[in-house]
Amino acid sequence: MIEQIRDKARELLEGKQVSCFIGYEQGTRGKARPAFIYAPQEVERLVWDEGCAHNLTTYLHQFKNPVKRGEPPPRVGIMVKPCDARSLNVLFHEKQLDRARVYIVGLTCGGMKDDGQLLARCQRCSERVPVVYDLLVGEKPGTVGQEDYADVAEMEGMSPRERLAFWAREFERCIRCYACRQACPACYCFECVAEQLDPPWMGIAIDLPQKQFFHVMRAYHLAGRCAGCNACEEACPMEIPLSLLNRKIAKEVEALFGYKTGQDAITPPPLATFKKEEEVPL
């Protein structure tokens, strides 16, 4: 499998079809980390294993602008898992990326592991083949998970006061490093509400209401756009369960509007469109 990826990366780089190939390499502490390959002889660095949990599509934003004025932006090759492919579709739909400027090496995925344990999101994942790719690598794994929102339902069973206390406890830990935002492929605004000073949406203090505001705002801005790659939660140094928040919205979006994020690059996300005759329970 990895040889096939390396061969393709080499071919693309040698043929100058892409200026950079984004993949994974072995990190210094034994875990995979993102790698940016610019020269064909460096493709040997590429790896593909069960530790390749990062969503690399976040880095595509760095290749949106031309290197030299007047030139088209550079073409990029990238390795994507099924979850990352969904976020690619979000970016294509939002015209953040031109489909023709990305060469997608799709990877069939049996789930990512940490310390031999399948990640929670991978246990729930029912997609094993990317929804968009130029080259598909690997065989389709037999087993698939099922998203049942068990933990979200558990939260919904609490009383509002209990939920308030739960989130206060979680967000109390937030240090406002904004790693969740930076890791997210769908969070690409040049000026984020979190930093807007006019109007000052949010204060800059380490203060619970402000932190809560930030997190609700972040989750809400991703409503119907979150591909569920869980990069935010994995980037969080304080281990705040952001997936509980994101998946609640995903669940409601699916229930209210029958929409699943990133299945194609054509259907607009639910909050960008409406139907006149629909019944929306307020």
| Residues near another protein, by CB under 8 A | 155-156, 160-168, 193, 201, 208-210, 212-213, 216-217, 219-220, 223, 245, 248-249, 252-253, 256-257, 270-271, 274-276, 280-282
Residue with Cβ nearer another protein (78 or 226): 226
Residue with Cβ nearer another protein (58 or 210): 210
At its nearest, how many Å lie between another protein and the CB of residue 121?
Answer: 19
At its nearest, how many Å lie between another protein and the CB of residue 274?
Answer: 4
Query: Rounded CA gap, 36 and 9, in Å?
Result: 11
Residue with Cβ nearer another protein (59 or 213): 213
Residue with Cβ nearer another protein (179 or 271): 271
Residue type (1 letter), 124: R
Residue type (1 letter), 133: Y
Residue type (1 letter), 115: D
At its nearest, how many Å lie between another protein and the CB of residue 42?
Answer: 45
Query: Rounded CA gap, 232 and 173, in Å?
Result: 15
Bridging pattern class, strands 102-107 and 76-80: parallel
Burial of 274 (0-12, 13-18, 19+ CB in 10 A): exposed
At its nearest, how many Å lie between another protein and the CB of residue 126?
Answer: 23
At its nearest, how many Å lie between another protein and the CB of residue 171?
Answer: 9
Query: Rounded CA gap, 234 and 143, in Å?
Result: 24
Residue with Cβ nearer another protein (100 or 280): 280
Q: List phi, psi (to 5°) of 209.
A: -60, -35
